[in-house]
Amino acid sequence: MNNAFATRLRRAVRLITAAGVGALLSACGPAEQAPTFTFTAIPDQDESRLEQRFGKVADYLQDELGVPVAYVPVKSYPAAVTAFRNDQVQMAWFGGLSGVQARRLVPGSRAIAQGEEDTAFKSYFIANTATGLTPARDRLPEAFAEQPSFTFGAKGSTSGRLMPEFFFRERFGAPPQEKFDKVGFSGDHNRTLSLVESGAYATGALNYQVWEQALKDGDIDTDKVRVIWETPAYPDYHWTVRGDLDKRFGEGFTDRVTETLLAIRDPALLAAFPRSRFVPADNDDYQAIEDTAEAIGLLD
């Protein structure tokens, strides 16, 4: 039996078994029907890309776990944290900061997996070419803080706000609001790129993967915008689950979800993130993120 056929057969058996169990539970009354495992993700890119990415994840999880799975979109980073806190979702794809915020609000919740690339993530500081700024290797150039405007991404973004602000303060001894005439929050990384490329903002900071993907896709006019500096590495995106999964879905369900994410090998599914693979994560991996957020006043 070849591997591809064996995989399809195992999935079919799981789904048939799940369907049979569902029918039996249905006969016992609607209150006993199998619950749906729901998850969300921070809206760090435009909605169509998120629907494509996480729709595939939902299909994969449903096939592998044998339970109904649904992706629930949200409109903002705080909305993702709120959905997790209010038990509207049981799992979320968070950034480093939003994951810390969510776990502080839901005791017992756990980071379970991250992309291999997320163990050493980076942000890019970018500038419109009209500024005359040129790439620097060791640190942001002095002239960067002399520009008229700067935009972050979302207020709750690790790679679009928290870490860029940390490195900016480290370099210039003050927050961006004290150096620029105008500081904005674009809402997501794609918009940051568009705003700086168009000249609406002279400078900005964004997730390095969004830049690299847009560059690969031919969506950046490098005559209008360029990378000025890349930050040192830090931990970022990851999957976090609530602590009551086993109680709701059965003993060992948290481990099954973790193993299912770590087992993703489909290149198309991984490319949607983009990640080469997922690796184990735990709450301690994000202690530095929590410490940084507290140091610059982004956590209560």
pLDDT in tens, 161-206: 999 999 999 999 999 999 999 999 999 999 999 999 999 999 999 9
7-46 pLDDT tens trace: 333 443 343 334 443 443 344 444 456 799 999 999 876 6
Q: Is the pTM of this model over 0.85?
A: no
Alpha-carbon span 294 to 300, nearest angstrom: 8
Whether 295 contacts 147, CB under 8 Å = no
| Ramachandran sector of residue 43 (left: φ over 0; alpha: ψ -120 to 50; beta: rest) | beta
Last residue of a domain, one of 201, 230, 259: 230
State the CATH number of the domain containing residue 175. Answer: 3.40.190.10
Number of folded domains that form the chain: 2
Element at 204 (helix H, strand E): strand 203-207
Cβ proximity of 144 and 228 under 8 Å: yes
- Of 192, 212, 230, the residue at which a domain comes to its end is 230
Residue 4 included in any domain: no
Distance CA 80, CA 77 (A): 5
Residue 293 domain-assigned (yes or no): no
Nearest Cα to Cα of residue 96 among 2, 10, 166, 17: 166
Of 232, 216, 215, give the one whose Cα is nearest residue 224. Answer: 215
Residue 297 is assigned to a structural domain of this protein: no
The answer to whether residues 251 and 212 belong to one domain is: no
Same domain, 159 and 110: no
The per-residue pLDDT for range 89-115, each reduced to its tens digit, is 999 999 999 999 999 999 999 999 999
Give domain status of residue 150, yes or no.
yes
- Same domain, residue pair 152 and 113: no
Domain that holds residue 146: 122-230
- 206, 230, 254: which is the final residue of a domain? 230
Q: Are residues 188 and 114 in the same domain?
A: no
64 and 203 co-located in one domain: no
Q: Is 156 found in the same domain as 104?
A: no
